[in-house]
Structure 1
C-alpha cells in the first residue's frame, strides 16, 4: 500500500515551500481512573526549543502505546454478530490467514485511555449508542462502512490514535505548527497567531484548528467539522479478544457540533503525550476526555511514504455488488 516515493517527496516539498512563505492573518473490571488522576498531566522533562522559543516537537514520529479505549465491561469478550476476524467486518470475507484465532499481543495496560468520565466509558446518548450497535453488527452495509474504508479523512482526534501504516511529521516555524500524517495524505496547518476560526458556514472533515502554547503543551482548539468522520475508531481490542478484533472505539459517530480540544506535550525526548477532550451535545451526554502516549520518536532515517487507499474494493463484496450475500 505504500509506493511511489516521489509523490511523498513532492508533498513534503510543497509544505516546505509553504513554510518558507510569509505568514498570513476485559474481563476483570479495570479500576476507573478518576478525573483528578489525569494521566500524564505533570512531567519534569524540559524540552528543547526552536529558535523562536517553541517547545520543539519537530521531526518524524511513529504511533505510540496501544491501550483499550474504554473500561472493560467485566464480561468475557465475544465477537459481535457477523464477526469473522479482521479489524473491520468490511474486511472479513477474505481475512488474513488465522486472523480470527491470533491471540492479542502480550500483556497490555488495563487502564483505559478515557480518564473522564471516571468510569472510563464514552457517554453516548441513547440513540447514538443504538447507532453504534447497528454499525458494529452490520459492517458489510455500504452506508455503515467505516469512513476510512471509503478512503475518507480520519478526522480529529481519530487521526492521532494508533494504526498500522501510519507515521507522523511535525514541522514548526514562527506562528505555525504543521502536522503531516502518512495515512491517506492527511495534513493540518495550525496557526498560533490568535486568529479566529473560519466562518461557521465552512465545514471540514478534519475541522479548523487554532493553536496556542501553555508552558510546554501545545493546545489546539478544533471546530467547524462536518459529520463525515468518526470521533474515534481505534485503540487496542478488548482484553481476551483476538488481536484482529473490532476495537472498543469502533462506530463512534459525531455531528457538525463536534468541538475538540487537543493537548500535545513532549514528556520525554522520544515521547509526545496526547490528550483530547470531545464535546458534541447532539451525540454525547457530556464532554469526555482520553489521553495516552501517542507518538514515539522515529529512527533518524525514517520518512513518510505515499499512502494508497483502495476503498475496500478487494474485500468488501457488498461494496462491489450491492448484494447481501448472506441472504
Structure 2
C-alpha cells in the first residue's frame, strides 16, 4: 500500500495569542492525572484525526475560526463529498472498480478542531512560510527517481518500503487513516508508538546529550524534558531521505504534549529548517482519548509487495526492450 501525505515559535509577545486550547486541567483532577513520578500522565491511546486542514484556505484569510454555523456547513460539505465519492465507486460497472472503499479504509476526521480554519497557528495567517528554491530542486529529483524502474529496494522511497512515513512523522500530522498513537511513560523514558507503520520512538528523559551531528537516523535523534506540566521533545539529526513537506536533514523539531483534561491532549510542534522555509512554523493538534486498542499495522507484511514491485519492473523492462524502448 503506497500513500504519501502532505511532516522557534514567534516572539514571546505573541504567546498568549497562540494558545488555542486551555492547557491546565481542573485542580480536582490533577492528582488523578499524574504518574507515580509526579509528572502529568499522558499514557493511553489517542486519536488525532481532524477535518481541519494544515493550512488556512486563502478564501478564509484573516479568519482563524469559524462560527458554529459556518463549521457545521463545512462539515456537511465534507460529508456530502465522502458520500459522493463512495457512491461513484459503488455505481461503477462490475470489473471497473479497482482499489479500495473510501468508507471502509479511510478515517478522515469528520469535525473541525475547535472550529479552527488551520492547524498552523504560527505564523498567525495560518500558512506555512514560503519554501526555499532547494525544496523545489529536491522535489524534482525525487520525481525523476520515482519515474525510473527500481533496480532494487533502495531505489524506492522510505514509505514504500514501510520504513517510516505517512502521518507518523515525526512530527505527527493527521491524514486519511491510522490517526492513532499510544504513549507510555517511565521515570526516565517516554515511548511514542504510532499506529501508522507501527513505529515506536523510545525517547530518553534523563538529560543525556544528543548524538553527535554525524550520526543520522530515519526519525532523527530525540531527547525529552519537562517544561512545567508540558512534555517537550526536541529532535534533530534527521536523514536527508526523511522529508516533511520537502524538509532537509537540517530539520529541527520541537514537540510539546500537554494534558487539557481527562480525555484531551494538546499536541503542538514547531519545525525549523532554514534551508527549506523562509521561517519556522508551528501547528497544534487536539488529540482525543480512545478506548479502542492499537492494532498492529503490518504495511505489506513480509515485504511481499516489494518483491512484486521489483519483479513487475523487470517485466516492464523486458517488454520495453522488446519494443525497442531504451529509456531507463
TM over 0.5: yes
Pick the aligned partner of 1:253 from 241, 246, 260: 246
Contact kept in structure 2, 1:265 and 1:273, CA below 8 Å? yes
Q: 2:136 aligns with which of 130, 137, 141?
A: 130
After TM superposition, list the pairs within 5 Å mapping 1:57-206 onto structure 2. 57-74=42-59, 94-96=98-100, 108=112, 109-128=115-134, 130=136, 141=147, 147-154=158-165, 156-206=169-219
Unaligned 5+ runs, structure 2: 2-13, 61-84, 87-96, 321-326
Deviation of 1:145 (Å): 7.5
Q: Summarize deviations over 1:210-266 as a string: whole Å, max 9, x none.
A: 1111122101111111122221xxxxxxxxxxxxxxxxxxxx121111100110111
Flag the structure with higher helix content.
Answer: 2
RMSD: 4.0
Cα deviation for residue 128 of structure 1 reads: 4.6
Would the alpha carbon gap of residues 69 and 307 (structure 1) be closer, same or farther in structure 2, given more than 3 Å must change?
same
Match of 2:257? 264
Give unpaired runs (5+ residues) of structure 1.
2-33, 76-84, 87-92, 232-251
The offset of 1:166, in angstroms, is 4.6
C-alpha contact 1:151 1:309 (8 A) present in aligned 2: yes
Question: Quick check: 2:164–2:197 contact (8 Å CA) kept in 1?
Answer: yes
Larger radius of gyration: 2
Count the aligned residue pairs. 253
Say if 1:68 and 1:98 are closer, same or farther in 2 by CA, change over 3 A.
closer
In the TM superposition, residue 192 of structure 1 has moved relative to its aligned partner by 1.5
**Once the two structures are superposed, what CA deviation does each residue of 1:99-155 show, in whole Å capped at 9, x if it has no partner?**
9xx9x9866445111111122222233425535875999896369976423323136
Out of 41, 57, 72, the position equivalent to 1:56 is: 41
SS at match of 1:189: strand
Q: Distance in 1 between matches of 2:53 and 2:15?
A: 17
Aligned mates of 2:210, 2:109 — CA distance in 1: 42
The CA deviation at 1:313 is 4.6
Cross-structure match for 1:23: none
Aligned counterpart in structure 1 of residue 25 of structure 2, from 20, 42, 45: 45
